[in-house]
Amino acid sequence: PPARVARVSYISGKVSLQQAGVDQWSEASLNYPMTTNDRLYTDQGARAELEVGSAAVRLSEATDLTIANLNDQFMQLGLAQGAMRVSIYDLPQGNSVEVDTPNGALTLLRSGYYRVDTFPNDNTTLVSVYSGDAQLSGGGLSQTVHGGQAVKLTGSDPIQVDYISLPSEDSFDQWSAARDRTFVSAASARYVSRDTPGYASLDGYGVWSEAPQYGPIWYPTAVPVGWVPYGMGRWVWVGPWGWTWVDAEPWGFAPFHYGRWAFIGARWGWIPGPYAVRPYYAPALVAFVGGPHFSIGVSVGGGVGFAGWFPLGPREPYYPWYHCGGSYLRQVNVTNVTNIVNVRNVNNIHYVNQRVATTVVRSNVFASGAPVRTGLVRMNSQQMAEARVIPHPMINPSGSATYGGRVVPAPIHTERFAATQANRRFATASPANPRGAPPAGANRTFERPQNAARNYPSTARPRLFTNRQPAPRSVPFAEKERAMQSHPGRPLEPAQVNNLRQGKPAGPMRDREYIQHASHPQNRQSGGRAESKSEGKRH
């Protein structure tokens, strides 16, 4: 899977999300991880922000954005309508960012600040490059726009290009600039790589300290008594990772997808791991407990009915429950832990947090994506210690676990675009004045369409110009759901997904999971049952 995702890092107003392979729209929620083929829509008066590595993508109101592709080196954004700003703080060599619009494709060539406005009703797109460089292409067009320049694109075949002056700032620009200052000045960047989504959110909610055995540690300061990591949030199903933790705290992204947790003294601290390496995203850095013989003294038919987990501690290896290669397994560990234990030696792991931080909920709460606080089951420390570690919960998600939040109707923009946004003026540039400054005595201007009505967001992917082919369509979740019945709780393998995409049966899972979870040593000493064949084998 990819090593990065887009974190929903800011929401104001009504913002709707449509996950890949799901027809239903839902409320977008803070800290939700977005990836390829996910779609976001901001309603009238709303705004949203995504963090993607060392870049931020911000949406103004009435904006329809699809993440057409997102992997380790490439981000492709489809802007069907509305206004978007992209701030690239650092663009490593070999990485690229593309913005696709109905009037042309833009490749953002280096770090800088960019804005794109699309008016589909008028077949017009405005591109403003405040700093950086953007390559325009589509319909025989190939042209570079430099920092300090802006252009208006009209039509599609052919595309007409007119240089215009950079517009004066509006409230969306001012808000975006304030957000940029927050990212650039964040004190946590001294301890956490700027490629880690959520690092800037840590500043106002905790303090940093140094520990000889661990290095920098961040302690949250606004958590209730009895709080434990991965105890206030919910489990959702996000492909290709499957079960994914979405934390309820405003700072709750980086500490739950990178690094490790340690209970030091009387408080929990987050250890971010090595600073100099590129971070590798994980859906949740936990170990699961449970299985058919998981018993906590509550009578449930067949012994099945609960799911439990605890945060991994310092130097403890992470074993993914989703398909991945050996290189990913190695990198997702070494980039999040300093001096990790041998990742192949799983039988002798003493999980330091198992006794003090195991959270258990009813399986229906887990499967539905409901907040875990609504279905907590109390366990004592002995029960926590004796619970058997398993590769993953043997629980398939219900449909609601694939939603970003509460189900909402498909967004319909019935009001007209705010006049305050529509009245920004642009002076037309001349060939002798390519940066768009109004020539002496000139009075020609381009104005945004007055009260331009926004289009209804189509359920189909809009027709946009692209430089690179977008990712293949996502297989509907309903089709995957049927194929997952034979191996509950584990996402389908890439070959199975490809079979479904081609209209074939998914076929059996063939890849082995990376570990054989043996019974915990304490479990064996207390006479606990050895794990069953169905869970002990590598499958």
For residue 452, what pLDDT is reported?
A: 43
pLDDT tops 80 at residue 406? yes
The more confident residue out of 428 and 464 is 464
Query: How many angstroms separate the Cα of 140 from the Cα of each of 161, 261, 322, 345?
Result: 12, 53, 43, 57
Please list, in sequence order, all residues whose beta carbon lies within 8 angstroms of the beta carbon of residue 51, skipping any fewer than 6 positions away.
6, 7, 9, 197, 198, 253
Query: How many angstroms separate the Cα of 208 from the Cα of each of 195, 197, 229?
Result: 19, 18, 17
Least confident of 196-210, 255-269, 288-302, 517-531: 517-531
Confidence class for position 524, pLDDT limits 50, 70, 90? very low
Q: Are 4 and 25 in contact (CB under 8 A)?
A: no
Confidence class for position 298, pLDDT limits 50, 70, 90? very low
The token duo for 183 is 């990212």
For residue 34, what pLDDT is reported?
A: 98
CA gap 21, 360 in Å, rounded: 30
Q: Are 360 and 379 in contact (CB under 8 A)?
A: yes
Q: Are 343 and 330 in contact (CB under 8 A)?
A: yes
Of 110, 108, 89, nearest to 97 (Cα)?
108
Mean pLDDT of 139-155: 93
- Beta pairing partners, 146: 133
Residues found in the chain: 539
The more confident residue out of 403 and 454 is 403
Largest interatomic CA distance in the chain? 91
The more confident residue out of 417 and 217 is 217
For residue 533, what pLDDT is reported?
A: 31
pLDDT tops 50 at residue 416? no
The pTM for the full model equals 0.87
Mean pLDDT of 114-131: 95
For residue 107, what pLDDT is reported?
A: 97
For residue 486, what pLDDT is reported?
A: 87
Q: What percent of the chain has pLDDT over 70?
A: 81
Confidence class for position 505, pLDDT limits 50, 70, 90? very high
Of 20, 22, 77, 86, nearest to 54 (Cα)?
86
Q: Are 254 and 197 in contact (CB under 8 A)?
A: yes
- Give the pairing of strands 96-101 and 104-108: antiparallel
CA gap 128, 192 in Å, rounded: 31
CA dihedral 503, 506, 507, 511 (to 10 degrees): 140
List, as one string, the DSSP characters of 240-261.
TTEEEEEESSTT-SHHHHSSEE
Max avg pLDDT among 44-53, 137-146, 468-477: 44-53
Tens digit of pLDDT for each residue in 264-283? 989 999 999 888 778 999 99
What value does the mean pLDDT of the chain take?
Answer: 84
- Beta pairing partners, 20: none
User: Which residue has tokens 């996950």?
Assistant: 19
